[in-house]
Structure 1
Amino acid sequence: MRSSFNDVDVELLLKDITGLVEPLPTEEREKKIQSGIHYSEMLPLEYKPSDEYIRIYTRSLDVFGQTVADAIVRVSEKIVNEKGNDVVIVSLARAGTPIGVLISRYIRKKYAYVCPHYSISIIRDRGIDRNAMEYILKKHCAASIQFVDGWTGKGVIYNELKKEISSFHGVSGKLAVVADPAYITDLCGTHDDILIPSSCLNSTVCGLISRTFLRSDIIGADEFHGALFYKELIEEDRTYEFIHRIEELFRSNPEAGEKESTTNEAIDDIRSIAEKFGIADVNHIKPGIGETTRVLLRRVPWKIIIDERYKECEELKHILQLALEKKVAIYYTRLNNYKCCGLIKQLSDV
């Protein structure tokens, strides 16, 4: 799989499908999803950031970089405490990939251990890439595998992971993340819904690869799940700008990043929003900064919900900018576990 990641940082267990699949405009893809075609069978056109959005992203990296670096240090230490020095990082492509690079770099720097790092695909309702898992298990002890992602939303991918991994003897389904506002894993850097700057962009901060793809006419039974390589975006690639900036901010023993939550039941926020806005399908509710950003970048957004306590919060400026550019209404209310939430538009002409 071609990418702008250095080979020493990650081995991408993905099939390069560049030229085999034509990305679709957002609204066309959304109509197909809502008519029953699985999202993994299509790829979206990449959002082209405005100059103002890139300015906000760059400032976010400066302002919140230390928060993210500290969270990565905390979760890395938890991983080493649990797995020891023979840990193998398996990140979930693509949002988990730059995080996996940073965790493996931290472990290498702190413990002088070259931490193997693979990145593989897992898809909601389609499962994990079993060929990729078999590849890893031929090389490494099952108990050494540690799955890594960027953040938790509702916990859908975590539940998918736990279900899938039950058939791989000796492999733990525990997921390590930078931010866990859903309160579903203790292997996290923080339970706060923090801004992870890499969530603000698509491929240009994730090695120039697309989200992962699975369709039987393109991906054979013995092949890895697929992804595109966006060669045309090389001049806009910020992958190592992000990685190097966060790595520079690593420090020993950062203060605890735990957050007191009104409730550990993140589903309460989801139920409340579903009832308030008459949403029957909770898949149309995407909670947390990372998931809200994704809604704005590659889905058809209906409304953005922001916790009224964070109305002027700089962490959400990129969301406000995207909402402005896409003319999406913002609604302020009180949330428990999340700072914001994105609602996907129900397309009436499906």
Structure 2
Amino acid sequence: MRFRHIKEPSSMGSYSSDDVIFLLKNISDLIKEQSNEEREFIMQNGGHYSEMLPIEYFPTEEYMEIFYKTLASTKEKVAKAAAIVGELIYRQKGENAVIVSLARAGTPIGILIKRYLEWKYKKKFSHYSISIIRGKGIDENALKYILNRHNPQDIQFVDGWTGKGAINEVLNKATSDFYDKYGIRISEKLAVLADPAHCVELYGTREDFLIPSACLNSTVSGLVSRTVLRDDIIGENDFHGAKYYKEWLDKDVSGAFIDTITERFSNIAIMEKDIENIEGKVYNKGIKEVTEIKEKYNIRDINLVKPGVGETTRVLLRRVPWKILVDDINNPNLKHILILAEDKKVPVEVYKDMSYSCCGLIKSKAKESVK
């Protein structure tokens, strides 16, 4: 099937087009950012997060120092995890594999996997970054663009990490809906660098460690914002939207992150046992633990519980946190979490009964709780 009326993507983001093609509409002049307090109240009273953008947190020198130190200490671990995922993808998809990362946390991970595959197998691989939104689904126009150029069986979706597995469920439903509409079957299997939720088959590690790209927002993601879907600015034939922070080019570390990890590929050796150690079994431990936390802390909405280092970082950067749970106050993966919590005066509590390193709890802003 050839899809018609699909637009060509505009130039977007600070990455080279050799690394990724963003299938996103540039809405830089069409949307105004809102404070975390304002957005939180709107979201918890009927509004949708995809209709707004947060004011991006600009990191302090101390915080950037943690980013660089974390990058230095985890570069080989990240490189090995990316290589393992790359090998798993290659074994399933072969040399025609098409990486489709989920913007924006998936984008740098998709680039790392693409670069590993090209380094290892000495051929070019395609990589697109598209939007998927909880409660609204995947960008079908972006999928149609890809399907006009590639076979559906070659598509491999990629994200950065799993929290409680919500995006996994959105992807499952989106691919099912796409099949019902168009009769085209796309695998719903998601590949991630880290799977602390134990909810995907393709992963590099299940350790809940700090992936350096989770530390920052747009400045480590090609200067691209979170994705937006709003009827007044996204037309029927448009891709989902995003803002391009071109004015921050001098602060951008997106390329430095990718290059630092890529340079380690030649130093790591992926053995057959590394691949065999990837269980490929799904336990969905994450959602069970999150449900227990929700009940223990009397939280009305499970979406206010955000487990894992990556998700807790997001809570501190662009939500209104109530409390941070940590497995161990001396956990080296949590240095940036503790700095952010102190900066925002958010209490930190030790909570041992979880397989995650930490969990962010969002403050309730429902109308009934506002005085």
Q: Do they superpose with TM above 0.5?
A: yes
Q: Distance in 1 between matches of 2:164 and 2:132?
A: 16
| Per-residue CA distance 1:245-290 (angstroms, 9 max, x = gap) | 11111222167496999x7522221122112111010000000000
| Per-residue CA distance 1:136-187 (angstroms, 9 max, x = gap) | 0011000000000000001110110011112232310000000001111120
- Tell me, yes or no, if structure 1 residue 269 matches structure 2 residue 286: no
Contact 1:192–1:259 under 8 Å retained in 2: no
Q: Distance in 1 between matches of 2:189 and 2:72?
A: 31
Q: Which residue of 2 aligns with 1:349?
A: 370
SS of residue in 2 equivalent to 1:217 = coil
Contact 1:264–1:337 under 8 Å retained in 2: no
Residue number among 184, 193, 214 corresponding to 2:208 in the alignment: 193
SS of residue in 1 equivalent to 2:350 = strand
Residue number among 39, 42, 47 corresponding to 1:29 in the alignment: 39
Q: CA RMSD in A?
A: 1.7
Contact 2:63–2:339 under 8 Å retained in 1: yes
Contact 1:191–1:259 under 8 Å retained in 2: no
SS of residue in 2 equivalent to 1:32 = helix
SS of residue in 2 equivalent to 1:148 = strand
Q: Distance in 1 between matches of 2:363 and 2:236?
A: 34
TM-superposed deviation, 1:115 = 0.5
Q: Distance in 2 between matches of 1:2 and 1:136?
A: 17
Contact 1:149–1:177 under 8 Å retained in 2: yes
TM-superposed deviation, 1:223 = 0.5
SS of residue in 2 equivalent to 1:37 = coil
Please, what TM-score do these two structures have when normalized by structure 1? 0.96
- Tell me, yes or no, if structure 1 residue 319 matches structure 2 residue 326: no
Distance 1:285 1:259, change over 3 A: farther
Aligned length: 347
Q: Which residue of 1 aligns with 2:116?
A: 106
TM-superposed deviation, 1:346 = 0.8
TM-superposed deviation, 1:315 = 1.0
Residue number among 244, 256, 277 corresponding to 1:241 in the alignment: 256
| Per-residue CA distance 1:163-218 (angstroms, 9 max, x = gap) | 11122323100000000011111200011112110000000000000000000000
TM-superposed deviation, 1:336 = 3.1
Q: Which residue of 2 aligns with 1:53?
A: 63
Q: Distance in 2 between matches of 1:233 and 1:294?
A: 20
Percent of pairs with identical residues: 52
Q: Which residue of 1 aligns with 2:84?
A: 74
SS of residue in 2 equivalent to 1:6 = coil
- Tell me, yes or no, if structure 1 residue 20 matches structure 2 residue 38: no
Give ranges in structure 1 of 5+ residues lacking alignment.
none
SS of residue in 1 equivalent to 2:123 = coil
Q: Distance in 1 between matches of 2:343 and 2:44?
A: 24
Instruction: Please identify, of 297-306 and 272-281, the stretch whose mean Cα deviation from structure 2 is larger.
Output: 272-281
Residue number among 198, 211, 228 corresponding to 2:243 in the alignment: 228
Give ranges in structure 2 of 5+ residues lacking alignment.
1-10
Q: Distance in 1 between matches of 2:163 and 2:346?
A: 21
Runs of 4+ aligned residues of structure 1 deviating over 4 Å after TM superposition are: 257-261
